[in-house]
Amino acid sequence: MGLREFDLIVLGGGPAGYVAAIRAAQLKFKTAIVEPERLGGVCLNWGCIPTKALLKSAELYLEMRRLRQFGIEAEVKGFDFGRIIARSRQVADRSSAGVQYLIRTNGVEKIVGMGRFVAPNEIEVVDKDSGEVKERVRARHIVVATGGHPKSLPGVEFDGQRIITYKEAISLGAQPESLVVIGAGAIGVELAFFYAALGTKVTLLEMLEQILPLEDAEVADALAKSLSKLGIEIHTSAPVKSVQKTDIGVTVVARRLKEEITLHGDMALVAIGIGGNTEGLGVKLERGFVVVNEKYQTSVPGIWAVGDVIGPPLLAHVASREALCCVEEIAGLKPAPIDYESIPSCTYSQPQVASVGWTEKMCGEKGIETKTGKFPFVASGKAQAAGEIEGFVKVICDVKTGRLLGAHLVGSGVTELIAELTLARTHQMTGRDILRSLHPHPTLSEAVMEATAAALGEAIHL
């Protein structure tokens, strides 16, 4: 068996891996990417992209049911669950094919199989199913981008039928009548919204005191009220004690304060977090993730790591940026470091949630005096015209410097508004800088301007 040599090898073909491989090829490295599945990773194949296709179907279905509000008479006969799922798979297929095209046109060689280290700079590629060794490859630099996997509750095993992960949840053959969602982070909330919008009886459980635990408390509360109106039964501060399969579904027992809650459903979706795919890497780990320094170097020289495998924030856009920084560091380009305190976060339920920077609570813990401005979409002319008046924009500025410290949004389309505020925070702009930028009228983006004006005590439309 021959030993092929490359300048750089990437393990994993997700948003971190394929971006690292393409950037390496652009920088004239002879590059290979080792991946046992389709390119695109969880994000393109089983996460970010297909879920957005599902959510769009749910949103349209809800929109069609209120057409009379817009003066339109039409009959909504229902929906075809199978076609909704099929469309999402088609979207995922096209996305993965697009990545395959980019890999090929950039001259990156794809090696199909699982990579495992036999030396710090040498990888054995094995068949995923049989374990048979296919070949060995070597490179001076190896970038680990193996991603993550769904965590399960202690003593609870996924079976893909009654106790499921997001992967099964977005590709079910039939719609469940009832669903218990364990974990109210972005994945749990999005899938809870999708199924509830289509009529499934959904119960959402979260062990912490609010849904979307990393988000601003006021934003989380506003979303919880909206999801409750949709029919979702929400229990927070409710850690799960047990999940048992029955002849007809599942029984979930949780504890809320001193009371036990027993819930029944056709299925239980466990969405409590992601663990790193770290098996066989031979590098230092901490809490289930690979340990890296500020340049993404692991404990072993020549081995680098980026993306979900190195831990939170577990976001595709972060993984891709880490990949670019890592490869450019290898090439000696000295890239600007990522500002991890200015990472935007989005949840694509309806209403949507988007945020960047610190919450008011975090600012208080840091001893920073702040001024906060909030603008409700009910006061926005564009939101009124669109019939999307739910939610608000909140901005937080430093009293001493005027600098934007955080922004927290809930409402229709807010995931498209967060980029402006991310730019402002990344470049340490002030509220005054935001106000100096003209915002077109009428747009939802005016809510950003108005919330900022409110923080400065200059609100016009409040």
Reported as a single tens digit per residue, the pLDDT across 33-91 is 999 999 999 999 999 999 999 999 999 999 999 999 999 999 889 999 999 999 999 99
Sign, CA torsion 412/415/416/419: positive
Task: Assign 453 to helix, strand or coil.
Answer: helix
Alpha-carbon distance 383 to 388, whole Å?
5
What's the confidence (pLDDT) of residue 131? 87
Q: Which amino acid is at 380?
A: S
- Residue 427 catalytic? no
The pair phi, psi for residue 312, each rounded to 5°, is -60, 155
Those residues whose C-beta lies under 8 Å from the C-beta of residue 174, and which sit 6 or more positions away, are 81
Q: Which of 264, 317, 441, 461 is catalytic?
A: 441
User: How far is the CA of 223 from the CAs of 55, 181, 202, 395, in angstroms?
Assistant: 16, 16, 15, 18
What's the confidence (pLDDT) of residue 314? 96
Alpha-carbon distance 230 to 227, whole Å?
5
Please report the beta strands in 145-256, taking only residues with DSSP state E, as ranges in sequence order: 148-150, 163-164, 178-182, 201-205, 233-235, 240-245, 250-256
For residue 371, how many other CB atoms are within 10 A of its CB? 16
User: 252-261: long-range contacts at Cβ-Cβ below 8 A with a sequence spacing of 24 or more?
Assistant: 252/180, 252/182, 252/205, 254/205, 261/235
Alpha-carbon distance 266 to 93, whole Å?
29
| Total residues found in the chain within this entry | 462
Alpha-carbon distance 307 to 173, whole Å?
31
Q: In what order do the strands lie in the sheet with 250-256?
A: 240-245, 250-256, 259-265
Alpha-carbon distance 202 to 176, whole Å?
10
- What is the 8-class DSSP label of residue 137? E
DSSP string, 88-107: HHHHHHHHHHHHHHHHHHTT
Task: Assign 294 to helix, strand or coil.
Answer: coil
Sign, CA torsion 264/270/271/273: positive
313 with 339: CB under 8 angstroms?
no
Residue indicated by tokens 């290898």: 330
DSSP string, 33-57: EEESS-TTHHHHHHSHHHHHHHHHH
Alpha-carbon distance 6 to 402, whole Å?
50
Per-position pLDDT tens, the chain of length 462: 579 999 999 999 999 999 999 999 999 999 999 999 999 999 999 999 999 999 999 999 999 999 999 999 998 899 999 999 999 999 999 999 999 999 999 999 999 999 999 998 999 999 988 889 999 999 999 999 999 999 999 999 999 999 999 999 999 999 999 999 999 999 999 999 999 999 999 999 999 999 999 999 999 999 999 999 999 999 999 999 999 999 999 999 999 888 999 999 999 999 999 999 999 899 999 999 999 999 999 999 999 999 999 999 999 999 999 999 999 999 999 999 999 999 999 999 999 999 999 999 999 999 999 999 999 999 999 999 999 999 999 999 999 999 999 999 999 999 999 999 999 999 999 999 999 999 999 999 999 999 999 999 999 999
Task: Assign 450 to helix, strand or coil.
Answer: helix
Residue 36 preceded by cis peptide, ω within 30: no
- Domains (range + CATH), the chain: 3-149+275-338 (3.50.50.60), 163-270 (3.50.50.60), 342-455 (3.30.390.30)
pTM of this structure: 0.96
Alpha-carbon distance 412 to 286, whole Å?
38
DSSP string, 311-373: -SS--HHHHHHHHHHHHHHHTT--PPPP-GGG--EEE-SSSEEEEEE--HHHHHHTT--EEEE
Nearest one of 348, 384, 336, 328 to 29, comparing CA atoms: 328
Q: Decide the pairing of beta strands 274-276 and 148-150.
A: antiparallel
What's the confidence (pLDDT) of residue 215? 97
The pair phi, psi for residue 368, each rounded to 5°, is -95, 125
User: How far is the CA of 452 from the CAs of 48, 152, 374, 397, in angstroms?
Assistant: 30, 42, 8, 8
- What is the 8-class DSSP label of residue 76? -
Reported as a single tens digit per residue, the pLDDT across 358-389 is 999 999 999 999 999 999 999 999 999 999 99
Angle made by CA atoms 193, 160, 237, in degrees to the nearest 5 = 45
What's the confidence (pLDDT) of residue 258? 83
Alpha-carbon distance 258 to 449, whole Å?
45
